[in-house]
Amino acid sequence: MEGSLTARDRVGIQDFVLLDAYTSETAFMDNLRKRFNENLIYTYIGTLLVSVNPYKELGIYTKKQMDIYMGVNFFELPPHIFALADNVYRTMISETNNHFILISGESGAGKTEASKKVLQFYAVCCPSTRLLDNVRDRLLLSNPVLEAFGNAKTLKNDNSSRFGKYMDIQFDHQGAAVGGHILSYLLEKSRVVHQNHGERNFHIFYQLVEGGEDELLRWLGLERNCQKYRYLIQGECAKVSSINDKSDWKTVQKALTIIEFSEKDIEHLFAIIASVLHLGNVHFEASAHGYATLNSSAELLGIPSNILQEGLTHRKIEAKAEEVLSPFTAEHAKYARDALAKAIYGRTFTWLVNKINESLVNKDSTRKTVIGLLDIYGFEVFDVNSFEQFCINFCNEKLQQLFIQLTLKSEQEEYEMEGIEWEPVPYFNNKIICDLVEEKHRGIISILDEECLRPGEATDFTFLEKLEEKMCGHPHFVTHKLADQKTRKTLERGDFRLLHYAGEVTYSVVGKFHLISQVNCASDLSLTRLTSDRFDDVMVRHQVKYLGLMEHLRVRRAGFAYRRRYEIFLKRYKALCPDTWPHWKGTPAEGVQRLIKHLGYKPDEYKMGRTKIFIRHPRTLFATEDAFEICKHELGKAPATSDKRRLPFPEGVVMILIETCWRGLQARRERERRAWAVKVIKKFIKGFMNRNQPVSMDNSDYLAFVRQSYLTRLKDNLPKSVLDKTIWLTPPPIMQEVFHILINPLLLKPSQIYFQLQIKALTSDIFKGRKENYPQSVCQPFHCIYIMFVSLAWETYVISHSTQYSVPVIKYDRNGFRPRFRQLIFTQAAAYLVEEAKIKQRVNYSSLKGVSVSDLSDNFLILHVTCDDTKQKVGDCLLYLTRMHYTYTELLSFCSVRFDIQPGKEGFVDFKSSSESMVYRAKNGHLMVVSPHNPMHTT
């Protein structure tokens, strides 16, 4: 960080804590502006990161940038979101405890993009395996899904998050991401039924209408025209040039697949989204008595018209044991319709988040550390502020309270650890405002609860009257009735005003405060702010105020502006003192003491801690840095003679010193290279001496080299005729087995190879992703005949009768489940179960009504056989066979295809997973098949 101080007049200071006029908002703004004009969008306030949205690509989020910030001290490089993410990650690993990052700001500040950058950084810096890559992909792809259902175009931002999100990223002891969990809150459900001019509903509605396939839209009863749907056109901007709904639809579809939503889940999801659109087109007319009547079809909602009519046009009142239906007016019915639409969408969003969490869940029960990522609205002030803004601003009020407390606590802990006396810091404690909202029985939320639950006709104004009764005289609460004459002119009769930490906000209770909400809060480490494509002073100043940045800076600067460990401070500035340059022999603390004495620091400008030096004023540091900048140039020139100070070396010695250091570095590198070469040669000789021994630590590297060398030579010397074994390169002993595996398939006829590949491809289509032990079967070669333990006479018989496939099996009796060794043989006409030379059962393909297998890792196959003659004891065949996958596939090539013990009587086979493989008859009379769970398929 200190290296950037020399250019501070041009690019500003990269940590506001070093701002000399730290109480001046003008100085704060000037520093932001300087950095913004140089495309430096990040600035620190201690460990807080302030970001100014540039609204353009800056090329600062590349893989190269991620590599630069990995494993680097937080203040060593310029401020960046990657530096913050890396600092949190490394602290979590070293301390084995949980941390989290808060990203706050108004719409358009770049909160969503910042959270994406953090996730992308962890995706690159964490250890990678196939399983972990799946977790990483799901974490990253949860973003476009949540954005589609939770983001919308607003006046400030085309992709504004209209919900708060807290994401847990779970890491194992090695720092690998192994799972996650998402908590959503404060979804702006009112947007479903109403949008201001120039704004849109949630993205998913437009993506479905514009990008959905024709067949899907027909099934949902939708038309490819947003103008047909009332809930999509209130903002009068259904189509936006900067948003490609068709492309985003494809992205969402792909993301849902990777997150493992089933086809049925996706169908239900979009059916519900379509139902909200249809619900918005339901309209009402007033009857002769003034009551609402439904004047549109409800068929597309999948609800009978009479039920929808009753639900939307009447209110059910329970009086003792009776239920009475009270009719709505047309206006009340519209409120009921919109309330239903909001409830449907809100519950759908909750279900969606839960489904995503199921795909992110970490099934390993061992303890995990967590990095939380909290994305929340900043403080909001609009022309009309309703209940949603009240919740958002209260949440930010709580965050501000906790944030200041944590900042003061961390400062105080560091002072105590360093043995420096703590000086109490005066600051505005907003606990009085938090209590005004949340205090039990007296706070605004408690009063709202009471008003909603009390008997009688509760209205917006009875709620306001109750507030005036309870809050009268409170310094941070005022209404039209309680205000003085001057203030009363700025308030409507349905308004009340709160004096928040960030300023005054007027809230309207009319038609808005009939809900009860619980607000979730947390502390923060990172903030991001909004500006347009140019630096808008008014907007930025407004947001600096509402984020409480000046208050936070004042708390940070209440003590010392700069602190560094003695080793780091001495290493940078030791050239400024002849006693410490070039090598200081004493302790770092003594060296720093000698250095600052030479520089003339005054006693009130610094404090010496146990491990750090604390400098009170930025100007002291700036003077030190300026002196160091001059000294760097003097070191390579002639000795200085002014100011009673001479450089410690005569002319020309500095260049010799640099040359000596460089030669020494080269010599050390050469020594390391030779040591490595000796080690490799010794290992190679030892491996050669043990080349004919079993693979071990002594010869594994040598044998690997032999294999690689042979395959490389073979690549350049392939024979012209692959069928002639004599002209192949002679393989070394370690490669003999591989050589035969490579050559033998090539000696097959082309038609045989093609047939094998066909069978394997068909088997893959059937079992891939559906049967746990399918991956283990892929490496098994396919052969048509596996005849075992049969007599020669029978073998001659079956071959002469066009046997197409044969495999040994174990057949379980239908009564008692006793195992029998059999040979299963497929011919063109039928399947046979054979014992020695005797046919035990013949199953004609025409009588085969089905074949069943489980999705576990067992190898059981059940042939379901139809038998019209109830006297014949012929029923389903329960078979165990090692090559079940290929047998199943082969069977399908001969025929088109409940387990019956015999006609008219049913039996059962139960499957389950365990650590061992077993087959036995259970106490309930069922056949129990226990198969080991495949570890390759655990997540």
Span 40-50, mean pLDDT? 87
Please check whether residue 763 lies inside any domain of the structure. Answer: no
Last residue of a domain, one of 529, 553, 577: 553
- One domain for residues 433 and 569: no
Please check whether residue 581 lies inside any domain of the structure. Answer: yes
* Cross-strand bridge partners of residue 906: 900
User: Under a CB-based contact definition with an 8 Å cutoff, are residues 507 and 380 in contact?
Assistant: no
> Smallest Cα–Cα separation from 378: which of 406, 403, 348?
403
The tens digit of pLDDT for each residue in 607-644 reads: 898 899 988 887 888 888 888 888 877 765 645 444 44
For position 898, what pLDDT does the model report? 42
User: Under a CB-based contact definition with an 8 Å cutoff, are residues 460 and 513 in contact?
Assistant: yes
For position 127, what pLDDT does the model report? 80
Last residue of a domain, one of 524, 553, 582: 553
d(CA 825, CA 806) in angstroms, rounded, equals 4
* Chain centroid, CA 933 distance in Å: 28
Q: How confident is the model at residue 782 (pLDDT cuts 50, 70, 90)?
A: low
User: Under a CB-based contact definition with an 8 Å cutoff, are residues 325 and 316 in contact?
Assistant: yes
3-state SS, one letter per residue, for 58-110: CCCCCHHHHHHHCCCCCCCCCCCHHHHHHHHHHHHHHHCCCEEEEEEECCCCC
Question: 3-state class of 829 per DSSP?
Answer: coil
- One domain for residues 803 and 845: yes
- One domain for residues 460 and 532: yes
Give the pairing of strands 909-914 and 927-932: parallel
For position 208, what pLDDT does the model report? 94
What residues contact residue 827 under an 8 Å CB cut-off, 6+ apart? 798, 801, 802, 803, 804
For position 511, what pLDDT does the model report? 61
- One domain for residues 501 and 414: yes
Q: Would you call 419 exposed, middle or buried from its count of C-beta atoms within 10 A (0-12, 13-18, 19+)?
A: exposed
d(CA 144, CA 253) in angstroms, rounded, equals 10
Does 122 have pLDDT greater than 80? yes
The tens digit of pLDDT for each residue in 410-437 reads: 777 888 888 888 777 777 778 888 889 9
Please check whether residue 640 lies inside any domain of the structure. Answer: no
Share of the chain above pLDDT 70, in %: 80
Please check whether residue 322 lies inside any domain of the structure. Answer: no
Q: How confident is the model at residue 806 (pLDDT cuts 50, 70, 90)?
A: confident
For position 521, what pLDDT does the model report? 28
Task: Indicate the annotated binding residues.
Answer: 105-112
> Smallest Cα–Cα separation from 43: which of 61, 68, 17, 24?
17
What residues contact residue 361 under an 8 Å CB cut-off, 6+ apart? 179, 181
The residue written with tokens 């001290």 in the block is 73
> Smallest Cα–Cα separation from 856: which of 919, 797, 795?
919
Please check whether residue 350 lies inside any domain of the structure. Answer: no
- One domain for residues 877 and 913: yes
By annotation, the residues acting in catalysis are 107-108, 112, 157, 160-161, 378, 380
d(CA 547, CA 460) in angstroms, rounded, equals 30
Of 114-123, 780-789, 904-913, where does the model show the most confidence? 114-123
Please check whether residue 348 lies inside any domain of the structure. Answer: no
What are the tokens at 886?
């290929």
* 325 φ/ψ angles, rounded to the nearest 5 degrees: -95, 120
Task: Indicate the annotated binding residues for ATP.
Answer: 105-112
Please check whether residue 777 lies inside any domain of the structure. Answer: no
Please check whether residue 190 lies inside any domain of the structure. Answer: no
Question: 3-state class of 253 per DSSP?
Answer: helix
* 822 φ/ψ angles, rounded to the nearest 5 degrees: -140, 165
The residue written with tokens 């492309």 in the block is 247
Domain count, the chain: 4
Choice between 367 and 68, residue whose per-residue pLDDT is larger? 68
Q: How confident is the model at residue 270 (pLDDT cuts 50, 70, 90)?
A: very high
- One domain for residues 485 and 568: no
* Chain centroid, CA 665 distance in Å: 44
d(CA 864, CA 899) in angstroms, rounded, equals 6
What are the tokens at 490?
């700025």
What residues contact residue 551 under an 8 Å CB cut-off, 6+ apart? 400, 404, 427, 428, 501
Count the Cβ atoms, other than its own, within 10 Å of residue 739: 17
Kindly give the residue spans of alpha helices, DSSP state H, lying in 245-294.
Answer: 245-258, 263-280
Choice between 652 and 279, residue whose per-residue pLDDT is larger? 279
CATH of the domain at 892: 2.30.29.30
Question: 3-state class of 355 per DSSP?
Answer: helix
Choice between 870 and 846, residue whose per-residue pLDDT is larger? 846
d(CA 693, CA 709) in angstroms, rounded, equals 19
Span 307-326, mean pLDDT? 74
CA dihedral sign of residues 209, 214, 219, 222: positive
CATH of the domain at 489: 1.20.58.530
Span 840-862, mean pLDDT? 85
* 361 φ/ψ angles, rounded to the nearest 5 degrees: -60, 140
The tens digit of pLDDT for each residue in 154-210 reads: 887 888 888 888 888 888 888 888 888 899 887 888 899 988 888 899 999 999 999
* Chain centroid, CA 874 distance in Å: 56
What residues contact residue 558 under an 8 Å CB cut-off, 6+ apart? 411, 423, 425
User: Under a CB-based contact definition with an 8 Å cutoff, are residues 164 and 377 in contact?
Assistant: yes
d(CA 182, CA 360) in angstroms, rounded, equals 9
- One domain for residues 539 and 573: no
Domain coverage including residue 716:
704-738
Q: How confident is the model at residue 232 (pLDDT cuts 50, 70, 90)?
A: very high
SS3 content of the chain, % helix, strand, coil (to 5): 45, 15, 35
> Smallest Cα–Cα separation from 471: which of 505, 432, 501?
432
Q: What is the dihedral of CA 303, 306, 308, 312, to 10 degrees?
A: 180
- One domain for residues 538 and 473: yes
Q: Check residue 110 and give left, alpha or beta (phi > 0: left; psi -120 to 50: alpha).
A: left
AA letter at 161: S
Does 897 have pLDDT greater than 60? no
Does 534 have pLDDT greater than 60? yes
- One domain for residues 825 and 885: yes
For position 900, what pLDDT does the model report? 40
The tens digit of pLDDT for each residue in 914-935 reads: 656 666 677 677 777 666 654 3
What b/e readout covers 647-668, taking b as 16+ CB neighbours within 10 angstroms? bbeeeeebeeeeeeeeeeeeee
- One domain for residues 843 and 722: no
- One domain for residues 847 and 933: yes
d(CA 790, CA 798) in angstroms, rounded, equals 11
Q: Would you call 602 exposed, middle or buried from its count of C-beta atoms within 10 A (0-12, 13-18, 19+)?
A: exposed
- One domain for residues 438 and 581: no
d(CA 496, CA 466) in angstroms, rounded, equals 12
d(CA 273, CA 219) in angstroms, rounded, equals 13
> Is it true that the peptide bond before 582 is cis, omega within 30 degrees of 0?
yes
DSSP 201-225: SBHHHHHHHHHS-HHHHHHHT--S-
Integer-rounded Cα radius of gyration of the chain: 38
What are the tokens at 40?
């430096």
Last residue of a domain, one of 611, 635, 659: 635
For the chain, count helices (H), then strands (E): 29, 30
